[in-house]
Structure 1
Amino acid sequence: MSPLLGILSLLSALAVTGDALICTQCTSTSSSCTGNSVTCSAGSLCSSTYTETVEDGSPSVSLTKGCTVSSQCNFNGSMSMLLGNLRMVISCCSTDNCVPSIPALPPTNSSRNGLVCRSCVSADSSWCYTSDTMRCTGEENKCLLQTTKVAGILSTAIRGCATKSLCDLGSQSQIIEGVSTDVKFICTSGGLSVHKVVLTPAIVCLLLLKTFF
């Protein structure tokens, strides 16, 4: 798995937190999966988190089922870097072991929105900085720094463009199969002028690698 794809695959589990309903928990690299049942926390619903990642023109998909806090249901958003992009949707249902339908991914939009952000990827650090920039498109009107820390194993960072909906997910922490993961999303609507380089704050984001499922 390439560094970028490994970092982005963390997003597929971003919303799977908590423990109320009994829900199926599983992950796969297709549009379906099966797994064991888990008990969710109060205020959580059964969810399907579906992502499409494109790196250097090559697409891949992932599906994560589990428990998601109700405020994150009906989510859709995207993020882009110079090397690729990711689109994600979350759907929910509210009965034991129900199977949420997978909604359509948000449409792609190549129209530039005027925002310019720095873009870099680090597979071994929670910080990256570069003079490389990208012009944001469509609804991706926030600059992003995504940092992920997997306790004692891995730190990653991404800079690029993101939708406000992705930024609003905020900082998250979780422990799955004894592995703790912490992620922060920090976004700004300020960007880089095409003619003047200015350092922009960014977004931090979390998910767990498929190897931890």
Structure 2
Amino acid sequence: MAQSVLFILICTLFYKANSLTCYQCIPETSTRCAETKVECPFGQCGTMKITSYAGNNKLNDMITKNCSLTRQCVAASVNFGITSVVMNNQCCNTNLCNNNQSEPGTRIPNGIQCYTCTGEDCSSTLPCADDEDHCIKATVNTDGQKMIMRGCATRNLCEGDLSTQIGQSSISSVDLTCCEGHLCNSAQTVTPGCLFQLGLLVYAIAHTSF
């Protein structure tokens, strides 16, 4: 009996010593939310910033704060030329440390190029930036219509949890195909699409968070 009590006491002390208090702020219908505090029994505190662009013009920022697993503390981006999404989840491991986030610097071309689409023509090339070391083909199926897009992406958006969550988006069926190498996402004429479907894909990517 004494051993059982001692075991429970040690486990309780271990839990308290390794838990964190983090800020939590999860937007639902807008880019703003009410900030609260939450106990995180594992992982770290995280602040994820998702920025969407139309061309070179910033559309909006969405900031989410919550507990984060170490594998979620990543930066990722995808660029289709006409639109792009940049995600950055900064993590820390002290109480209430996720109270702010530094602004990202200017995106720097890395020498890799991928094919992109302008209307139905996918013979144009797009310079990739920062850690975008993959070329991507994204097929969006919604309401019986299909649109195929091409561009640059980071490895972690093409593989693992991010890719799975985007593909399982409830708003549309999204199929991602990535390759590594200069202009590897071959240029072909694609099925005519529309900006509405492009918006669905951006929405799916932007809501892949904690």
* TM-score normalised over the length of structure 2: 0.55
Query: Which residue of the partner structure matches residue 85 of structure 1?
Result: 84
The counterpart of 1:142, out of the listed 112, 134, 158, is 134
CA deviation vs aligned residue, 1:144-172 (integer Å, no higher than 9, x gap): 2457899xxxx997532012344355434
The 5-angstrom pairing of residues 148-167 of structure 1 reads: 159-167=150-158
Query: Which residue of the partner structure matches residue 31 of structure 2?
Result: 29
One-letter code of the match for 2:34? T
8 Å CA contact retained: 1:146, 1:206:
no
Greater helix proportion: 2
SS at match of 1:131: strand
SS at match of 1:79: strand
Query: Which residue of the partner structure matches residue 52 of structure 1?
Result: 51
8 Å CA contact retained: 1:51, 1:63:
yes
State percent identity of aligned pairs.
Answer: 22
SS at match of 2:26: strand
- CA gap of 1:94–1:110, structure 2 versus 1, over 3 A, is closer
SS at match of 1:104: coil
CA deviation vs aligned residue, 1:51-85 (integer Å, no higher than 9, x gap): 22221443121111123211222x22322112132
* TM-score normalised over the length of structure 1: 0.54
- CA gap of 1:142–1:99, structure 2 versus 1, over 3 A, is same
One-letter code of the match for 2:50? T
Structure 2 residues without counterparts, runs of 5 or longer: 1-18, 190-201
RMSD of equivalent CA atoms: 4.5
